[in-house]
Amino acid sequence: MDFNGYLESRLEDIKRKGLYRKRFIVPENLIDFSSNDYLGLKDCEETKKVLCENIEKLSLGSGASQLVSGYKSIQKELEDFLSEFKESEDCIVLGSGYLANTGLIQALTEEGDIVFSDQFNHASIIDGIRLSRAEKVIYRHNDMNDLEDKLKKSSGRGKRFIVTDGVFSMEGDTVNFPDLKFLADRYGAVVILDDAHSTGILGNGKGTIFHYGMKPDENIIQMGTLSKAVGSYGAFVCGSRTVIDFLINRMRTVIFSTALSPIQNFISLNNLKIMVSQPFRREYILKQSEYLAENLKKLGYNIEYRGTPILSLMIGKEDKAVRLRDLLVEKGIFIQAIRPPTVPEGSSRLRITISYRHSKEDIDYLIDTLKELRDKL
């Protein structure tokens, strides 16, 4: 079998459809409007200084999975901080958001269960459901009427789960959590809430639940990442002590993965403390995000501010989105073109993210550049 030839033909097909991707090291001289480093903490000088002062006390790696010998005191300290921050009983930290969602859904569900999933949920949620033996039911994006209709029509004696992003990574909008939780309680469902893009941003930084003035309960499981607003790496799951104890015993992405390094957990903990103590970072990026959206709308661009630092500049065609990305690179700005399968066919876009690192001058330069490029589209 000519395996490489087969792969090359597949790649040619991807190129013909305008969906070819390659990794891109963003040069230092480009203004990066694609990073999820919302609060500007990935290069936090304060954390770098504290890390250097403590580096001799920290191992470079954990050495094993959490259930062997890789569970270190700094991870426990991080988990305790996150539990208090998210107002939950307990917490477990693990390698990444992808590992968290795939492992969480697979561990909690079994044959006969039903998972109701928003159509715009992250790929890690989609794959977690695929790996489970549960039935999958997709409801229209943020459509609580469609969700209730599907809850009513569902049958079976198994457990019910509703899983949703808090802030949707491509749209930048927020789940209608009060109505979703009402339906979950009415129909006896457990809620799995992916707060990857809302931790540090909504609800005074605590996330989606707190954004709506609500509190967690035993039927809400909060998942989040440490790689976005926190500016580090890893993920967490917060919930009842029973839920976390069960995950420790059944979550394959915890049991069979090496634990995060003590250094990484140290960075996460220190950045979290800075995030909590410096709300002006969050206030700044939300103000600048609204300012950018208002000015681009005046220029005729299809863009909206939805209360988060994620702004989708809708383009439509794949080649047109790539063309605009490349034109912006020539002007010293990097914004990645997002194309299928990440987003639906015909909805390619430039996903703009605002960071605390962006000055007002950076944002004005982006506005002026898009004004200049407008007619070239």
For the stretch 51-91, pLDDT in tens is 999 999 999 999 999 999 999 999 999 999 999 999 999 99
Rounded Cα–Cα distance for residues 196 and 163 (Å): 13
Q: What is the pLDDT of residue 304?
A: 87
Query: 371: pLDDT confidence band, cut at 50, 70 and 90?
Result: very high
Q: With a cut of 90, say whether residue 36 has pLDDT above it.
A: yes
Q: Which CATH architecture has domain 19-38+279-376?
A: Alpha-Beta Complex (3.90)
Instruction: Give the bridge partners for 293, in sequence order.
Output: none
**Are 146 and 119 in contact, with CB atoms under 8 Å apart?**
no
Q: What is the pLDDT of residue 207?
A: 98
224 token code pair: 């989040």
Rounded Cα–Cα distance for residues 233 and 88 (Å): 21
Q: What is the pLDDT of residue 75?
A: 98
Mean pLDDT on 297-303 = 94
What tens digit of pLDDT does each residue of 174-212 get? Answer: 999 999 999 999 999 999 999 999 999 999 999 999 999
Rounded Cα–Cα distance for residues 203 and 214 (Å): 10
Q: Regarding the domain delimited by 59-277, which CATH topology (the fold level of the hierarchy) does it fall under?
A: Aspartate Aminotransferase; domain 2 (3.40.640)
Q: What is the pLDDT of residue 374?
A: 86
What tens digit of pLDDT does each residue of 126-173 get? Answer: 999 999 999 999 999 999 999 999 999 987 689 999 999 999 999 999
Q: What is the pLDDT of residue 139?
A: 98
Which residues does 373 contact at the CB level (< 8 Å), separation at least 6? 324, 327, 328, 331
Mean pLDDT on 211-234 = 98
84 burial type by CB count under 10 A (0-12 exposed, 13-18 middle, 19+ buried):
exposed
What tens digit of pLDDT does each residue of 349-365 get? Answer: 999 999 999 999 999 99
Q: With a cut of 80, say whether residue 313 has pLDDT above it.
A: yes
Q: What is the pLDDT of residue 100?
A: 98
108: closest CA among 92, 96, 122, 121?
Answer: 92
| 235-239 and 90-94 beta bridge pairing | antiparallel
293: closest CA among 272, 309, 269, 277?
Answer: 309
Q: What is the pLDDT of residue 342?
A: 86
Q: With a cut of 80, say whether residue 234 has pLDDT above it.
A: yes
pTM: 0.94
25 token code pair: 């090291």
Q: What is the pLDDT of residue 27?
A: 86
Query: 1: pLDDT confidence band, cut at 50, 70 and 90?
Result: confident
What tens digit of pLDDT does each residue of 99-109 get? Answer: 999 999 999 99
Domain segments of the chain: what residues?
19-38+279-376, 59-277
Mean pLDDT on 253-271 = 98
Tell me the pLDDT of the chain averaged across its residues.
95
